[in-house]
């Protein structure tokens, strides 16, 4: 599936391959990774086309030129879906909170709770929505002085996220608390020689997985507490999300082995920084080309004076996140449980295939392996000539 029909994929492949070959020869790789300026840590270095970085030095933008915005728009459109649930949540919350005072809103909330009926088809949604109101009201009254990242997660954000996802309690499984991501461990260890030390995997604040298939589908990173500004921390965590989503994607597709349907799938990352929530999608619209794009950004209400107006929109966006992940899990479930696609994938291994992946180095690479990689690229080009 091509995102932009007039864009030649072999041209993209050749450009990326040339760029990465030049980096090998000039030994820029380690400088890109270890550079103190986070903006110089290039996503393309990790084999990811970057549609989130807003700098003039965005390598992906320079590679795609005029097609960059077309790609970005198409990537966002691919995950956009129309579901009535977020709008229902917005209207239900607004009807309760559209009061001139907090006291009146609280009375409406108690009245709505008493009117809940279990045989109502929207019972679960209404119940979760009322639970969110209680959490949000308590949050606005808390003294946040001295709050750190972990207390923010424990006292507030973990409750918000699980309350939303618990509308489908039988589907999701949550793992909180600086977990070592198995897919990261698997991917980085595959790149090591036998005599090199193994790694434990990246630490992630939370992973949301499918209970039935045991597949990780959403990564969550909290980049510090809401009252602390640390933009470098934000950028580092965003890059970590992109890298680990790619590791997860590759780990899952290695289980299935057949990649014919993989380009239609996506995984998600959610990042909290200050009073904003960012939602990213990692997609593979063309075989072996991974794309990282921001699909949603919204604000957490923090001002008591405007909370009655801001909260309905906040809840609506939380359920939009659920919708994105929900539709994605349906696609992953279909992909993993299909048994009619065991045809040969030899075409994916063809060296002349224009969709073959460019050679991209792992993060920590030795000088010896640099020379080997550089030699392999040179030999391949001599054969083509």
pLDDT tens digit sequence for 62-106: 888 888 999 999 999 988 877 789 999 999 999 999 877 888 888
- Give the CA diameter of the chain: 78
* 95-130 per-residue burial string, b: 16 or more CB within 10 A, e: under 16: ebbeeeeeeebbebbeebeeeeeeeeeeeebbbbbb
CA–CA gap between residue 236 and residue 77 (Å, rounded): 26
Rounded to the nearest integer, the mean pLDDT of the chain is 78
With 50 as the cut, is the pLDDT of residue 332 above it? yes
Residue indicated by tokens 């010896």:
368
Q: Cα separations (Å) of 178 from 91, 181, 205?
A: 36, 9, 4
**Tokens coding 372:** 């080997």
Rounded-to-10 torsion of CA 65, 66, 67, 68: 60
Confidence of residue 138 (pLDDT cuts 50, 70, 90): very high
With 70 as the cut, is the pLDDT of residue 197 above it? no
**235 or 365: which carries more pLDDT confidence?**
235
pTM (whole model) above 0.85: no
Strand partners, 269: 219, 280
Give the pLDDT of residue 222: 94
Confidence of residue 285 (pLDDT cuts 50, 70, 90): confident
With 70 as the cut, is the pLDDT of residue 194 above it? no
What is the SS3 assignment for 48?
strand
- What pLDDT digit, counting tens, does each position of 225-245 carry? 888 899 989 999 999 999 999
Strand partners, 179: 204
**From the CB of residue 269, how many other CB atoms can be counted at a distance below 10 Å?**
24
Instruction: List the domain range (segments joined by +) for residue 348.
Output: 1-385
Residue indicated by tokens 């794009």:
293
Terminal Cα distance for the chain, rounded: 30
With 50 as the cut, is the pLDDT of residue 364 above it? no
Provide the domain count of the chain: 1
Q: Of 13-27, 106-120, 167-181, which has the strongest mean pLDDT?
A: 106-120
With 50 as the cut, is the pLDDT of residue 366 above it? no
């Amino acid at each position: 599936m091509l995102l932009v029909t007039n864009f030649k994929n072999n041209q993209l492949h050749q450009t990326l391959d040339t760029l990465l070959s030049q980096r090998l020869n000039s030994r820029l790789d380690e400088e890109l990774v270890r550079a103190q300026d986070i903006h110089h840590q290039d996503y393309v270095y990790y084999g990811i086309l970057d549609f989130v970085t807003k700098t003039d030095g965005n390598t992906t933008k320079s590679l795609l030129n005029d097609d960059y915005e077309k790609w970005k728009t198409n990537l966002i459109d691919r995950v956009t879906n129309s579901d009535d649930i977020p709008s229902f949540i917005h209207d239900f919350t607004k009807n309760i909170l559209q009061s001139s005072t907090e006291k009146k809103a609280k009375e409406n909330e108690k009245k709505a709770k008493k009117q809940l009926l279990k045989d109502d088809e929207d019972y679960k949604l209404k119940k979760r929505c009322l639970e969110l109101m209680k959490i949000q009201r308590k949050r606005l009254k808390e003294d946040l002085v001295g709050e750190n990242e972990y207390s923010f997660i424990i006292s507030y954000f973990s409750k918000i996220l699980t309350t939303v996802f618990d509308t489908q309690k039988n589907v999701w499984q949550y793992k909180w608390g600086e977990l070592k991501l198995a897919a990261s461990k698997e991917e980085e260890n595959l790149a090591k020689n036998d005599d090199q030390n193994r790694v434990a995997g990246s630490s992630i604040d939370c992973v949301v997985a499918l209970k039935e298939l045991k597949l990780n589908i959403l990564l969550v990173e909290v980049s510090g507490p809401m009252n602390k500004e640390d933009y470098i921390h934000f950028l580092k965590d965003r890059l970590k999300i992109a890298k680990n989503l790619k590791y997860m994607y590759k780990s899952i597709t290695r289980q299935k082995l057949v990649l014919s349907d993989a380009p239609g799938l996506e995984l998600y990352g959610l990042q909290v920084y200050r009073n904003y929530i960012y939602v990213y999608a990692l997609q593979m619209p063309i075989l072996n080309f991974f794309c990282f794009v921001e699909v949603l950004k919204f604000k957490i209400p923090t001002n008591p004076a405007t909370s009655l107006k801001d909260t309905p929109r906040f809840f609506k966006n939380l359920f939009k996140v659920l919708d994105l992940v929900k539709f994605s899990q349906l696609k992953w479930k279909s992909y993993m449980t299909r048994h009619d696609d065991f045809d040969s994938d030899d075409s994916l291994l063809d060296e002349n295939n224009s969709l073959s992946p460019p050679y991209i180095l792992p993060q920590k690479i030795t000088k010896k392996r640099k020379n080997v990689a550089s030699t392999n690229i040179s030999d391949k080009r001599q054969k083509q000539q």
